[in-house]
Structure 1
Amino acid sequence: MQRLWHVLRGIGRLCLPAARGVYHPQQHSGVLLGVALPPDADLDDVSRRLWWRGLGLVERDGRVIAGADVTAAVQQRRLRRARGFVTQQLRDAGVRGAVKRWE
């Protein structure tokens, strides 16, 4: 029963971001919300912690950004709600820094 609960929680975590217009970032993502990581950050560890939260890593302007694609949230005028969600997920994953909009 506990294993079933764990699986259901995992599925919920993967579906919840999409309901807010938040998706895994891609190189071609239009609008990103995220934090620029320092050059000495362990990218494998950060990537693993972000994946379960519906977030990821992408390179923009020569910097590695930990965050999410929020293009859909911008189009649906739900950016404030998406920003709160992304900020909380980054904090839960142990990523610190100011959340910025990257286009």
Structure 2
Amino acid sequence: MADDSDDDQIQALAGVGRDLLSFELEAAAANLYYEFQKASKKARNADRITEADARRLAHAIERADMFVDVLYDACPEADRPPAVEDLLSGEELQEITARNPVPDRDDADQ
């Protein structure tokens, strides 16, 4: 009988873990969207994009990348992509954001 209660507890904890991971993934996605929107708006308005802006974007990307690692841990046979820091520098992130503004929702409707 102890094994059944252990299995029940393991399943309950696994459910909590899935819910927590889901919540964290949604929060990371919202944060990425928010930071890219802020930087895009600055670029569109010809406002100065600062090192702090790039740092916030990089932090949001790194946090999201951490969750990608968690998902890859669930399928260890998969080939992992290169890490974010291997792909973009802070300067490149600023350039990409400045070159690719996202239109305002009002502008997109017109």
TM-score relative to the length of structure 1: 0.29
TM-score normalised to structure 2 length: 0.28
As a proportion of its length, which structure holds more helix?
2
- Structure with greater proportional strand content: 1
